Amino acid sequence: MNASGSRGAAAYLGATLALAILAALAFAVGRFPVAVGDLLGAFGAKLFGLAYPLPENVETVIFKVRGPRVLAALLVGAALAAAGTAYQGMFRNPLVSPDLLGVATGAALGAVLGIFLSRDVWTIQAFAFAGGLAAVGLVYWIGSSVPRHDPLLALVLTGIVIGTLLGSGIALLKYLADPYNQLPAITYWLLGSLASINPSDLVAVALLVLAGLAPMLLLRWRMNLLALPDDEARALGVDTKRLRLVVIVAATLMTAAAVAVSGIIGWIGLIVPHAARLLVGPDFGRLLPLAMLLGAAFLLAVDTLCRTIAAIEVPPGVLTAMLGTPFFLWLFAASRKGW
Amino acid sequence: MGKAATALLFFAAFALLVPPAAAQPARIADGANRQVVVPAKVERVYAAGPPASMLVFAIAPDKLIGWTRAFRPNEAAFVAPKYGALPELGRLTGRGNTANVEVLLAARTDLVVDAGSVAETYVSLADRVQQQTGIPYLLLDGRLDAVPGSLRLLGKALGDEKRGDLLADYFESSLKDIRARIARIPQAERPRVYYGRGPAGMQTGLAGSINVEVLEYLGARNVAAESKGGLAQVSLEQVLAWNPEVILTSDPNFYATVWKDARWQNVAAVRAKRVHLSPHLPFGWFDFPPGANRLLGMHWAGKLLYPKAFPEDLRPRVVEFHRHFYHQEPTAAQLEALLGEPGVLPK
C-alpha cells in the first residue's frame, strides 16, 4: 500500500473512533440526569433482556428522546455531507452546497407554508419534503430544457434564480404571518434544530437517506468521470446526462428528507466534503464514506452541545460555524494534499 | 350708544356665554412620558397593533378606522357586524411593519395609538412617525399592570374620560381581586407550569418574557424561569427533567400531539390530565396578542392552577369582559364554543 493509502486508512480509523466515542458520550449526557449505571442497565435490558429496575422516565429519555436524537444527528450529518460531496464532484466546483439546486430553500418554503397554515408537525414535515423535491424538479426541468447551453451552467444558474424566487416566497409568508404566534415558529424552523425529532420521523428519514445513498455507492466509480469535461466522459462511455440525473435525484432525496426533520443546518454540506478531500483526496469511492463519517460525527458533536450547554436549546447553525471554522482552517493549514 | 357698539357688546356677551366647546388641543404625557399634543376633537384613530386596537375599540369603537389584520369570519362573530367589517390597514412599528405611513395620511388619521413595549426603540419609532406625518402618536404601556393607566390616558385623548375610567376601574378591580386571591396561596401549593408554544410545543417563555406575563402575574412557578429572556426553544429531555405538573398551550396541534405521543405520557401534567388549551377567539387569551385580552387568560389560568382559589364559573367573567371590551355579550353558543372546546377546562 502506498503512502496516501495508509494515510487514508488512518483517516478512516480516526473518524470511526471519534464517531464511536462521541456517540457513547452523546448517550451519556443530557438535560435529564441519567446515571451511567442506569444507562448501561437500560441497554442491557433492551439488548439482552436482563432484568434491571429503571427509575421513572429513564427508559423514555434514552430510547425515545435522546436515542432518536443521537441517531438523527448522525443521519442528517451524514446525508448532508454525502449530498455535498456528490454535488461538489459533479459540478466540478468546491463552492457548491447541497442547496445549489434549491432543495433546502424549497423545503423551507414548504415548512413555512405549513406553519403559516397552522398545520401539525407531521404535515409541516411532509410539506418540507415535498417542497424540496418540487424545487429541484422545477430547476432540473427548466435547466435541462434550455437549448444550446453548457448543461451544468444552465442548471446552476436556474438553481440560483429559482432559489431566490423561493426565498422571496419565504420572506412574503414571514411578512404575512402572525407576528406573535407564527413568526417565532417560522424563525425557529429556519434556524434548524433536532429538538423535536421523534422515533417515527427517524425511520422515514433513514429509509429515504439509504434510498439516496445506494445509487451513489453503486455508481462511485463513474462519479469520478463526471469531474471530467462532458465530451471526455462521453468518450469513456458514460451517459453523463443520465448519470447526472441519478445523482441529483439521489442527493435531493437525502437532503430533502434530512432538512424536513432538522430545518436548515448549513455549513456541513459545504465544508465537510473539503475536510474529507484534504484527508483522502478526490476519489469519490474513498471520499464519500469518509465525508459521511465526518459529517455524522461533526453534527453529533454540535447537537450534543446544543442540547446540553444550557436549559434552552442553542441553534445548531450557530455552533456548526463556530466550531467548524477553526477546525477547517487548521486542517487547511496542516494539509499538503492538493484539491 | 351706536349700533356698532351695541353689536360689539352683544357679541362680547355672547362669546362669554358660549362655553369653550371647541376646546384647545390638549397636551398629554403618554405611556413613555412623551409630551403629545392631541387635537381637541379626535374622530379617526389608527391603532398600530392588536393590543392598541383592543384598547381603542373598547373606549371608542366608532373612532377606530380599521384593524391591523382584518377579522376572520369566526373572529368577526364576536363584535357587531360594522366593526367586524372594518378594513385591514396593516401593522406599524417593530412588531412586523406592514403598514405604509401613507396609509395613515390617506385615511385622514387624527391620532395614532400603539400599545406594548415603551422601550427606547418604540419611543424613537413613535417620534419618527409623528415627525414624518405630523399626526400625534400616543405610545401606551402594554404590561398588564399598566393597562388601567393606559385606558385612562386613552379615554382622555379620545375625549371620553368617563368610558376610559369605567374600563380602567373594571380592569383594576379584576387585577386586585386576582392578586388578593393569589397572595393567600402558599408557595408549596403552586404547581410547576410549562407553557408550550409552536406546533411541537418545544418553545417556551423564559422569566421576564411577555409570553408568560400571565403566569408571572399569577405567581405561578414557570419551570423555564431559571433563565431570563424572551421566547426560547427547549429540548423534550429538558421538559421531562422539569416534569411540570401543569402544561398550558395555545397551539391546538401541540395539544392534540401531547396525548398521542408516547414520549409525553410520563410527564406529571399529562398523567394528571392537566394539559390545557387556551381559547383564542376573537383574540387569544394567554399570550398573543399581548393586550388587555389576557385578563380572561388570567381568570382561566388561575382556575386551572389554583382551582380552590378560583372556584367560580368562568361564564359570567367572559360575558362581563366581552360587554366591556367588545361591546357585545357572547351568545350561549359562542360561550360554549369558547369554554367547551376540548382541553380548555378540566372535564
Least-confidence region, from B13-17, B286-290, B343-347: B13-17
Helical residues (DSSP H) of A236-309, grouped into ranges: 240-262, 268-280, 284-308
Number of H helices, E strands in chain A: 15, 0
pLDDT at B21 over 70: no
Q: What is the ipTM of this complex?
A: 0.73
C-beta atoms surrounding B339 within 10 Å: 16
Which residues in A lie closer than 8 A to residue B90 (C-beta atoms)?
A: none
Question: What pLDDT is recorded for position B184?
Answer: 92
The residue of chain B with its CA nearest to that of A29 is B237
Cβ–Cβ contact A141 with B under 8 A: no
B203 vs A184: CB contact, 8 Å cut-off? yes
* Range A139-152 burial, b when 16+ CB lie within 10 A, else e: bbebbbeeeeeeeb
The residue of chain A with its CA nearest to that of B211 is A180
What would the DSSP string read from start to end of B216-279?
HHTT-EEGGGGSBSSEEEB-HHHHHHH--SEEEES-HHHHHHHHH-GGGTTSHHHHTT-EEE--
Q: Using one digit for the tens of pLDDT, what is the confidence trace for A124-181?
A: 999 999 999 999 999 999 998 887 678 888 999 999 999 999 999 999 999 888 887 7
Strands B45-47 and B111-116 turn out to be parallel
Task: Give the Cα separation of B333 and B318 in Å (integer).
Answer: 13
Which residues in A lie closer than 8 A to residue B227 (C-beta atoms)?
A: 310-312
Task: Give the Cα separation of A8 and A286 in Å (integer).
Answer: 8
Residue B114 near residue B48 (C-beta atoms within 8 A): yes
The residue of chain B with its CA nearest to that of A306 is B235
A188 vs B290: CB contact, 8 Å cut-off? no
Question: Residue B222's pLDDT band (boundaries 50, 70, 90)?
Answer: very high
Which residues in A lie closer than 8 A to residue B265 (C-beta atoms)?
A: 60
Q: Using one digit for the tens of pLDDT, what is the confidence trace for A257-298?
A: 999 999 999 889 988 998 898 889 889 999 999 999 999 999
Question: Residue B3's pLDDT band (boundaries 50, 70, 90)?
Answer: low
The whole-angstrom distance between A157's CA and the closest CA on chain B is: 32
The residue of chain A with its CA nearest to that of B249 is A181
CA of B84: how far to CAs of A32, A234, B261, in Å? Answer: 48, 67, 39
Higher model confidence: residue B98 or residue A112? A112
Q: Using one digit for the tens of pLDDT, what is the confidence trace for B158-217?
A: 999 999 999 999 999 999 999 999 999 999 999 999 999 988 899 999 988 888 999 999
Nearest to B266 by CA among B277, B258, B257: B258
Which residue among B199, B203, B237 sits closest to A30, beta carbon to beta carbon? B237
Residue of B197, B209, B240, B260 to mutate, testing the A interface (most A Cβ within 10 Å of its Cβ): B240
Question: What pLDDT is recorded for position B5?
Answer: 62
CA of A61: how far to CAs of A32, B223, B238, in Å? Answer: 7, 18, 10
Task: Give the Cα separation of B293 and B288 in Å (integer).
Answer: 9
The whole-angstrom distance between A302's CA and the closest CA on chain B is: 15
B96 vs A313: CB contact, 8 Å cut-off? no
Rounded to an integer, the average pLDDT of B26-32 is 88
> pLDDT averaged over chain B?
88
Question: Residue B269's pLDDT band (boundaries 50, 70, 90)?
Answer: very high
A60 vs B240: CB contact, 8 Å cut-off? yes
pLDDT at B70 over 60: yes
Interface A–B counts its CB contacts (< 8 A) at 114
Which residue among B50, B199, B290 sits closest to A185, beta carbon to beta carbon? B199
Task: Give the Cα separation of A183 and A233 in Å (integer).
Answer: 48
Cβ–Cβ contact A119 with B under 8 A: yes
Question: What pLDDT is recorded for position A317?
Answer: 83
Residue B302 near residue B309 (C-beta atoms within 8 A): yes
Question: Residue B20's pLDDT band (boundaries 50, 70, 90)?
Answer: very low
Amino acid at B99: A
Residue A316 near residue A324 (C-beta atoms within 8 A): no
Question: What pLDDT is recorded for position B130?
Answer: 87
Q: Using one digit for the tens of pLDDT, what is the confidence trace for B223-246?
A: 999 888 888 889 999 999 999 999
Question: Residue A339's pLDDT band (boundaries 50, 70, 90)?
Answer: very low
C-beta atoms surrounding A316 within 10 Å: 29
Task: Give the Cα separation of B313 and B303 in Å (integer).
Answer: 9
Q: What is the DSSP letter of B344?
A: S
Which residues in B lie closer than 8 A to residue A118 (C-beta atoms)?
A: 199, 252-253
C-beta atoms surrounding A42 within 10 Å: 22
pLDDT at B272 over 90: yes
Question: Residue A16's pLDDT band (boundaries 50, 70, 90)?
Answer: very high
Q: Residue B111 pairs with which residues in a beta bridge?
A: B45
First CA to last CA distance, chain A: 21
Question: What pLDDT is recorded for position B186?
Answer: 93
Interface of A with B in 184-203 (CB under 8 A): 184-185, 188, 191, 193, 195-196, 198
Rounded to an integer, the average pLDDT of B324-336 is 94
The whole-angstrom distance between A256's CA and the closest CA on chain B is: 20
Q: Using one digit for the tens of pLDDT, what is the confidence trace for B33-47?
A: 899 999 988 999 999
Which residue among B98, B206, B287 sits closest to A175, beta carbon to beta carbon? B98
Which residue among A183, A184, A195 sits closest to B235, beta carbon to beta carbon? A195
Rounded to an integer, the average pLDDT of B307-326 is 94
Question: What pLDDT is recorded for position B177?
Answer: 95
Instruction: Quote the pTM value.
Output: 0.81
Which residue among B197, B200, B256 sits closest to A196, beta carbon to beta carbon? B200
Delineate the domains of chain B, giving CATH numbers in brackets: 22-179 (3.40.50.1980), 187-339 (3.40.50.1980)
Question: What pLDDT is recorded for position B1?
Answer: 45
Question: What pLDDT is recorded for position B141?
Answer: 92
A188 vs B203: CB contact, 8 Å cut-off? yes
> pLDDT averaged over chain A?
88
B197 vs A32: CB contact, 8 Å cut-off? no
Which residues in B lie closer than 8 A to residue A307 (C-beta atoms)?
A: 235, 237-238
Question: What pLDDT is recorded for position A232?
Answer: 83
The residue of chain A with its CA nearest to that of B210 is A180
Higher model confidence: residue B59 or residue A34? B59
Rounded to an integer, the average pLDDT of B47-72 is 92
Question: What pLDDT is recorded for position A335?
Answer: 67
Cβ–Cβ contact A178 with B under 8 A: yes
Any idea which fold A98-264 has?
Answer: ABC transporter involved in vitamin B12 uptake, BtuC (1.10.3470)
Least-confidence region, from A215-229, B90-104, B176-190: B90-104
**What are the sequence ranges of the domains in chain A?**
98-264, 265-339
pLDDT at B94 over 60: no
Question: What pLDDT is recorded for position A113?
Answer: 96
The whole-angstrom distance between A79's CA and the closest CA on chain B is: 23
What would the DSSP string read from start to end of B3-21?
HHHHHHHHHHHHHHHS---
Task: Give the Cα separation of A70 and B235 in Å (integer).
Answer: 13
Question: What pLDDT is recorded for position A64?
Answer: 85
The pLDDT > 90 percentage for chain A reads: 47
Residue B322 near residue B167 (C-beta atoms within 8 A): no
Least-confidence region, from A182-186, A316-320, B93-97: B93-97
Question: What pLDDT is recorded for position B9?
Answer: 57
Rounded to an integer, the average pLDDT of A91-120 is 90
Question: What pLDDT is recorded for position A1?
Answer: 41
Residue B251 near residue B221 (C-beta atoms within 8 A): no
Where does B13-53 show beta strands of DSSP type E? 26-29, 35-38, 45-47
pLDDT at A235 over 50: yes
Residue of B214, B236, B261 to mutate, testing the A interface (most A Cβ within 10 Å of its Cβ): B236
Least-confidence region, from A318-327, B148-157, B287-296: A318-327
Question: What pLDDT is recorded for position A8?
Answer: 78
pLDDT at A112 over 90: yes
* Range B120-154 burial, b when 16+ CB lie within 10 A, else e: eebbebbeebbeeeebbbbbbbbbbeebbbbbbbb
Higher model confidence: residue B66 or residue A60? B66
Q: What is the CA radius of gyration of chain A?
A: 21
Question: What pLDDT is recorded for position A324?
Answer: 81
B232 vs A32: CB contact, 8 Å cut-off? no
